[in-house]
Each structure stands twice: as structure tokens, then as C-alpha cells.
Structure 1
Amino acid sequence: MASEDVKRREGVNKAPSNAVIGICKSLIAGGVAGGVSRTAVAPLERLKILLQVQNPHSIKYNGTVQGLKYIWRTEGFRGLFKGNGANCARIVPNSAVKFFSYEQASKGILYLYRQQTGNDEAQLTPLLRLGAGACAGIIAMSATYPMDMVRGRLTVQTDKSPYQYRGMVHALSTVLRQEGPRALYRGWLPSVIGVVPYVGLNFAVYESLKDWLVKSKPFGIIDNNNSELTVTTRLACGAIAGTMGQTVAYPLDVVRRRMQMVGWKDASSVITGDGRGKAPIEYSGMVDAFRKTVRHEGLGALYKGLVPNSVKVVPSIAIAFVTYEKVKDILGVEFRISD
């Protein structure tokens, strides 16, 4: 009896520690996935933001190829990756929280769904996965939004800007001092609205596509060694998921970026490059930003930067999903997103 009690206590003590280790491994996998995927497409990410906030009265970036060439010519190789350090500082915790939140939200929603249906073998439907993905996206985005806000400004500024943010910490402290705490969450509402279809569709489409492929088993899709989807197939699923999500949510991303520039006294010279163009329009809120953008620049302005973003989002999302699962395999985490 005594030995059984000791074993029982040891089991109870090990359970929490194993759970903590599992959580840490999951967060690490998500962080690595985010950092690797964003660094791989950093030049396209920077060009997308520059196109989104570019002053229409002083055009410098006119397309994907021309824009990348212009950055290379005027700022060199380092210019292509400007803001990537701040982006990784944001995306690593964001991605870690997002993937972990999705797993936890999926478990919780699946438990409630099985309780409601009375079927212990029930699986998540695409709609429930959409809800889990949306929850994960909102939690992760809200937790790291101030870093995203200053990252946008760090990405936009050039070597010729009259005032330089020296890094993420300096940018955060400067915005706090000059514009107040609320400025760090400027553009948060369109981000919340946009993250539902974007992140939600990413997870829902990715998971549903994989389930369908595993069940239908078309030729060449399944790895015969372990009866799982091949890496190439998972990359393709991630690419399709990313393309669908970003196309639906893109106008909200444009509005968010423009709202983040409001209140920045040097925004005009930063965006136009010479300070001679008309100053960027001020926005009082999300609806006002939509209205003024369409009125002054047309509906097409809501999709500025869509081409480099489309080129970027396909490999970015695909790399993130595959890296996440591979890192969890390496770390020995039993529960993976594909499970």
C-alpha cells in the first residue's frame, strides 16, 4: 500500500511538470515557425507595407519587381530586411501564442462539441476549426499589437528620414511619450475584424484540406513510410490556406497600416521621401479610413501591395505550418496540429 501511494504521488507530481514541458515545447515550435517563415519573405513584407502607406502624390514604389529594385538601389541589401529584427521580435511570441492558443482552443471546442452531441468520437468541423483559429488569432494579435504598430513605422522609415527610430524599444518609448498609450493600439479594431477570416481560414482550410487528402488518398499524396501527408503536400495545403485568408482580409490590413501612421509627425517625409508631397490623410477611425481611402484613391487602394503580399503569404504560411510540425517532431511533442 505504501509503495502504491508513493507511485501515485510521483505520478501526480510528474503530470504537471510534463504538461509545462509540453507547453514550452509547443511555444518554442510556434516561435521558430514564425521566425523562419517571416525571415524567408522579409523583403516582400517590407515592400507590401511601403506600398500600403505610400503617399499617392509622390509614388516611389510602382510594383513588386520595380519596388524591390528601388529598395536595393537606394538602401542596399540591408534595406530589403529593414524592420525584420523588429518583425521577428513580434512574430516569434505572436506565432508561439497563436499556435498554442489554436491547440488549446481546438481541445476546448472539441470537448464541448462532444458533450453537446453525445458522441465521444466526434471531430472538429471546418466551422469549428474556423472558430478556434479566429480565437487564436485574436489572442495572439492583441498580445503583441504594440510591437506590430512600431514595427510598421520601423519598416517604413528610410536612411533619409529626418527622425530615426533606433529600434523597437526606442520606437515604443517614443510613441508612448509623444502620442500616448492609445497610439500603440491604433488600428487594433480592423486588425481584430481582419484576423477572424485571415487566421480562421488559414487553420480551417489547412486542416480540412489535409483531412480530405488523408481520407481520399490520391496517388502520391501519402508518404508510404509513415502513412502521413508528404512535406510537399503540406506545403501546398498551407499555401492554399494562406492565399484564401489573406485575399479576404487584405483591405482591413491596408486600413490598419494607414491608421498606424496617424499621429506620426514625420510620416509625410518618411512616406514620400522628400517631404514635398501632400501630407498623408488623417483618419478618425476605421470607417473614416475606409471612406477616405476609397474616395481619394479608389477601391483599388484597398488592395495596394496585394501582389507582393500574395507572393509572400504563400511560402510564409506554408513554411510556418511545416516548420511548426517538424520542430514539434524534433522536440518529441505528441500532440501536433495535424492530429
Structure 2
Amino acid sequence: MNPTPRDDHLKRGSKVAPYEALIAGTVSGGVARGITAPLDTIKIRLQLQSKFFKHGRPVYSLVKDLLQHEGVIALWKGNVPAEMLYIIYGGVQFTSYSMLNANLSLLEKNLNIVKLSSSTHSLIAGVGAGVASTLATYPFDLLRTRLVANTKKDLLGMTATARGIIKADGPGGLFVGMAPAMLAIAPTTGLMFWSYELAREFSTNFGHVPFLEGICGFVAGTFSKGITFPLDTLRKRCQIYPIVHGKRYTRASHVFFNIIEKEGILGLYRGYGISILKTAPTSAISLWTFEIVITSMRKYQNAKPLTK
């Protein structure tokens, strides 16, 4: 007996209305962030505290110090801008992906010149979605990093932090590190959707497996972050450059070579382990939630998904 096919609303040619993608994307972003927030805080701290790298400071030591000096609530530092970031990012990411997916399919059909594989199609649409979502949410990403970087017990306010950045560096200060962020997030998003579709194609005969979409998302998150992690570290270092060095951010290349010179190539992988522990479940929860919300909405509306 063949297993019942599972809906894949992200595959090539899937018809997902923008409002469906927006609702499902915002829900998936909020749920994923709410569950994995503490891991994100630990990951960012590891990426930022370069002075401990050569001494091999273990994760448990950082967590112990954080809890002792800043309290349990510190694990949720920067959660307000981060939650806003994930909600907006999820909405923009899945909406733009669904629109690019549909239009790219239409373009392939009309031109009839290039025939892309399903996974390559997802890679291109995913990169475009990564660019769109980064442009829409970058200031929140910067604010999250600045708030998490604060090692004092007193929590900083998002509004006050934003005002301080604008006062010191102008409105452009909210976009410090945008170039490495784009280089990090766009390919990561593209690779995530690419590997997710490969995993979904491979899992065709496992439709009976619970949380199948989440398992495929877990694989996708692990693979994509593993490939692009050094760019993520560079992005975080660029975001805190002004407060660490007391001067305006210069160039990503300067920050990159500074890491290599002082910490070696492994400095780019600071926090890699905890990042995978955070990114993989985040991708799993996000993609699973998106698929489930779309399916639930359509069941509620008594509508069937249309695919080419």
C-alpha cells in the first residue's frame, strides 16, 4: 500500500496565495523564535566574545557566567526585536519565495528555453527570498545583536538602543554590516530551500512518518548553516564593531582579516556547534509550521492546493 502523499507547498509550481504565505510565514517565524530564543542568545555571545576563543572557552562556562551575573532573563535578551525580526522575516521570506516560485515556473513555461531541476528552482527562489527578507528586517537583526551583546544585568531597551545608534552614526547606523549580512543570509536561505526540496523528494515514500516536514527542515537547516556559518560570524562582528572598537564601522573585509589575523581561520566558526543546535530545530519548526498552517487554512476553507 502506497503512503498518502504529503502536501509540499514549497515545491516548484505550487500555488500559494500571497496572503496564505504571509499568514503562515509570520506564524512560523513567531513560533520558531519563541522556542529557540535561548539558544540564539548563547550562539551570538559565542560569536562575539573573540577574546576567549584561543583559550577554548566551553559553552557551559559561558552559560554559567551569563546566568550568575545577568540572571535567567538574560537568555531572552534582545527578544523583542528578535521576535519582530522573525515574524516579519518569516512573512516576507515565505511570501516572496511563493511569489518567486510561481513567477519563475511561469517564466520557465513561457520561455521554454531553460529547464531547471526542482531543487535548482528552489535554490534560485530561495536566494531571492533571502535578499527580500534581509532588506525588510535588517535593522531588527542589528538591534537584536546589540542587545544580546550587552553583558550588564540591566536590560537595554530597543527604542533607546535604536536612538543611540542613530545619534552616533545617523540612520545608516541601523544598516551597519548589511553587505556581509546579505552575503550570509541570501545563500543560506537559498541552500535551505534547495536542500529542503531535495529531502522532500527523497522522502516521497515516507508519507506516513510524523513530523516529516520538520525532519526535512532539520536536514535543510543543518546543511545550509554549515556551509555559510563563517559569513554569519562576520555579520555579527560587523554589527558590534562600533561599540567594541569605539569608532565607525569600516569594511567587512577589514573585520574579516582581523578575525583571521588574531584568531585564525577557526575564529570564523566561533559558536558553530550551538548554532547548528539552534538553526536546525529553528528550520524544522519554521518549515513544518508553514506547511501545517497552509494545510489547515485550506482545510478550513474547504479548498484544495492547486499545483501545475
Quick one: structure 1 residues 175 and 335, their matched pair in 2 at CA, closer, same or farther if it must change by over 3 Å?
farther
Scaled by the length of structure 2, what TM-score is found? Answer: 0.85
| Aligned partner of 1:137 among 130, 138, 148 | 130
1:325 aligns with 2:291: yes
1:222 aligns with 2:207: yes
Quick one: structure 1 residues 165 and 80, their matched pair in 2 at CA, closer, same or farther if it must change by over 3 Å?
closer
CA distance in 2, matches of 1:235, 1:337: 22
Q: Do the aligned residues in 2 keep the contact of 1:152 with 1:257 (CA within 8 Å)?
A: yes
1:95 aligns with 2:110: no
Scaled by the length of structure 1, what TM-score is found? Answer: 0.78
What secondary structure, in the 3-state scheme, does the structure 2 residue paired with 1:41 have? helix
> Over aligned residues, Cα RMSD in angstroms?
2.8
What secondary structure, in the 3-state scheme, does the structure 1 residue paired with 2:250 have? coil
Give, as a single letter, the amino acid of the residue that structure 1 aligns with 2:286: A
Quick one: structure 1 residues 66 and 335, their matched pair in 2 at CA, closer, same or farther if it must change by over 3 Å?
farther
Give % identity: 28
Q: Do the aligned residues in 2 keep the contact of 1:197 with 1:248 (CA within 8 Å)?
A: no
Structure 1 residues 278-332: Cα deviation after superposition (integer angstroms, max 9, x where no partner): x589862111111110001111100001111011111110000001111222222
Quick one: structure 1 residues 118 and 52, their matched pair in 2 at CA, closer, same or farther if it must change by over 3 Å?
closer
Question: How far off is 1:111 after superposition?
Answer: 0.7
Match of 1:189 in 2: 179
Give, as a single letter, the amino acid of the residue that structure 2 aligns with 1:165: L
1:239 aligns with 2:218: yes
Quick one: structure 1 residues 108 and 304, their matched pair in 2 at CA, closer, same or farther if it must change by over 3 Å?
same
Structure 1 residues 221-243: Cα deviation after superposition (integer angstroms, max 9, x where no partner): 122xxxxxx44322221111111
Question: How far off is 1:195 after superposition?
Answer: 1.9
| Aligned partner of 1:30 among 19, 25, 32 | 25
1:78 aligns with 2:78: no
**How many residues matched?**
290
For structure 1, which runs of at least 5 residues remain unmatched after alignment?
1-20, 224-229, 268-278
Quick one: structure 1 residues 102 and 180, their matched pair in 2 at CA, closer, same or farther if it must change by over 3 Å?
same
Match of 2:152 in 1: 159
Q: Do the aligned residues in 2 keep the contact of 1:133 with 1:203 (CA within 8 Å)?
A: yes
1:284 aligns with 2:277: no
Q: Do the aligned residues in 2 keep the contact of 1:110 with 1:123 (CA within 8 Å)?
A: no
Structure 1 residues 241-273: Cα deviation after superposition (integer angstroms, max 9, x where no partner): 111111111111111111111222xx4xxxxxx
What secondary structure, in the 3-state scheme, does the structure 1 residue paired with 2:242 have? coil
Match of 1:110 in 2: 105
Q: Do the aligned residues in 2 keep the contact of 1:134 with 1:200 (CA within 8 Å)?
A: yes
Match of 2:235 in 1: 256
Match of 2:265 in 1: 299
What secondary structure, in the 3-state scheme, does the structure 2 residue paired with 1:154 have? helix
CA distance in 2, matches of 1:287, 1:297: 15
Q: Do the aligned residues in 2 keep the contact of 1:283 with 1:289 (CA within 8 Å)?
A: no
Q: Do the aligned residues in 2 keep the contact of 1:176 with 1:183 (CA within 8 Å)?
A: yes
1:174 aligns with 2:193: no
CA distance in 2, matches of 1:310, 1:63: 16
Give, as a single letter, the amino acid of the residue that structure 2 aligns with 1:232: F
What secondary structure, in the 3-state scheme, does the structure 2 residue paired with 1:263 have? helix
Q: Do the aligned residues in 2 keep the contact of 1:97 with 1:139 (CA within 8 Å)?
A: yes
Give, as a single letter, the amino acid of the residue that structure 2 aligns with 1:290: F
Question: How far off is 1:173 after superposition?
Answer: 2.0
CA distance in 2, matches of 1:319, 1:249: 20
1:148 aligns with 2:141: yes
Question: How far off is 1:124 after superposition?
Answer: 5.2
